[in-house]
Amino acid sequence: MLPQRTYRPHTQSDRRRYVEEVELEPPIMFFMQNPEGCGISCKDALNSKFMRLVGRDDQMFNNRGPSVSIRLMWPGYAPWSRQIPTRDFRTPPGPITRSKLAKNVAKTVQRFLDDMTQHRLEEDADPRWRVGANFITIEDLDIVGLQHVSMGSWQVHLRVRSSRSRHPH
């Protein structure tokens, strides 16, 4: 698993308002079948390959606002977030499905990787978690789940495929 600190709002009042006084929801997991496991590859999600995703048509984020923030606390890079829609574009708009959520999250992770390719890893950061060509790319990542970390924010939990997490030579 990619080691991440859990996202927390900066100020005490925001922490109270958006974390402590909110009933945080259970995590959203991406379980797979045939073979069974947890975590959908970002590549499959981007390519709409959802045959193995358990509950792929389940509706997510019922009774929510029109968007949520997806957050990454990737080690060695600044905290990062992007909004994704919680509604699809049908008429009338309904909640997105688990499969559509997986695709939106994979697109968000891709955007993070694209953004961070221009940034240097922070001083003292573990070089294993460096992103970009010849380092960690979208092909190396599985989305395990989303953790509800504050009122409108969900943190993505990612697994780096083992071929990648070995030290570069």
Band of residue 21 on the pLDDT scale cut at 50, 70, 90: very high
Determine the structural domain holding residue 143 and report its residue range: 12-165
Looking at the predicted structure, is the pLDDT value of residue 164 above 70? no
Residues 114-138: pLDDT tens digits? 999 988 899 999 999 999 989 999 9
Is 3 inside any structural domain?
no
* Number of domains into which the chain is organized: 1
Is 37 inside any structural domain?
yes
Band of residue 56 on the pLDDT scale cut at 50, 70, 90: very high
Is 6 inside any structural domain?
no
Is 36 inside any structural domain?
yes
What SS3 string covers the chain?
Answer: CCCCCCCCCCCHHHHHHHHHCCCCCCCEECEECCCCEECEEHHHHHCCCCCCECCCCCECCCCCCCEEEEEECCCCCCCEEEEEECECCCCCCCECEHHHHHHHHHHHHHHHHHHHHCCCCCCCCCHHHCECCCCECHHHEEEEEEEEEECCEEEEEEEECHHHHCCCC
